[in-house]
Amino acid sequence: MSFPVVSVAISNAVTFGSYTNALDYLTRSGHNNSDQSKQSSLTTVFVAGCFSGIAQLFVSAPIDLVKVRLQNQTKSGGNKYRGPIHCIAVILREDGVKGLFRGIWALALRDVPCLGLYFLPYELICRMLTEKGKQPGNTAVLLAGGVAGVVTWACATPMDVVKARLQMCGGGGRMYSGVLNCITVSVREEGMRVFFKGLLLNSVRAFPVNAVTFLSFEMLLRAMTNLPKD
């Protein structure tokens, strides 16, 4: 777990940074610089979230691949990888650079639309619990962030199962020719319920994790934007 714990900061930085910049750009373009105080539309929020999903894809794909390989290697009969760096070295030696992006299409199908949905309930709940013209309070941010996490993982879990199975190809897991083949084989052998494995655990974990994530983001953003200028 040391690798994802260290690397999650980079992934979240890309996600939230690309989202806020895309949202700012789309909002300014939509208002033609005539009324910058007007709130962004929910459609704009969704599009900015999808853009952040694309931007973070190239960072999170190798990170997620290594995490999945390390967490599942005991199932393949021994410790093939001694750690994150050794795992990366083995993947590069066996599959080349493209091996680090195994399962990226399944990851894209999970993250791009789901990160669009990720920011929608957050913005909506914050607006409902905050007076117009004011910043959301900590309670509103915690509640909105927690709900956003649960909603996102409820939508993301089916493709997360597919992604994990594709990422284990070459790491001791079953081989699939692609996303559709993985879905077809999984449904034929295990039924539709296979796509909801871990949904309850993901949802229970998602609320506190994302509540704290959004609160940390908002607090850091406010602190940094309020720094005195030289």
| Residue 152 domain boundaries | 102-229
What's the chain's average pLDDT? 85
> 109 and 221 share a domain?
yes
> 75 and 118 share a domain?
no
For residue 76, the model assigns a pLDDT of 47
**Band of pLDDT at residue 72, cut at 50, 70 and 90:** confident
Per DSSP, the three-state class of 1 is: coil
Could you read off the pLDDT of 120-147 as tens digits, one per residue?
A: 999 999 999 988 778 889 999 999 999 9
Show which of 52, 69, 100 is a domain's final residue.
100
> 159 and 209 share a domain?
yes
> 156 and 215 share a domain?
yes
For residue 68, the model assigns a pLDDT of 81
Show which of 100, 127, 152 is a domain's final residue.
100
Position with higher pLDDT, 77 vs 102: 102
> 172 and 186 share a domain?
yes
> 90 and 120 share a domain?
no
CA distance linking residue 19 with residue 190, whole number of Å: 37
> 74 and 136 share a domain?
no
> 96 and 131 share a domain?
no
Low-confidence winner among 72-76, 158-162, 187-191, 222-226 (lowest mean pLDDT): 72-76
> 32 and 72 share a domain?
yes
Q: Taking residues 54-83, what's their average pLDDT?
A: 79
Name residues whose C-beta falls within 8 Å of residue 32's C-beta, 6 or more positions apart in sequence: none
Residue 208 pLDDT > 90: yes
For residue 120, the model assigns a pLDDT of 93
> 137 and 210 share a domain?
yes
pTM, full prediction: 0.79
Query: Residue 166 sits in a domain of what CATH number?
Result: 1.50.40.10
Residue 4 pLDDT > 70: no
Could you read off the pLDDT of 9-38 as tens digits, one per residue?
A: 888 999 999 999 999 999 888 655 545 557
- CA-based torsion, 152, 163, 49, 10: positive or negative: positive
CA distance linking residue 117 with residue 26, whole number of Å: 17
> 18 and 61 share a domain?
yes
Total domain count, the chain: 2
Using a 10 angstrom Cβ sphere, with 0-12 exposed, 13-18 middle and 19 or more buried, the burial of residue 177 is exposed
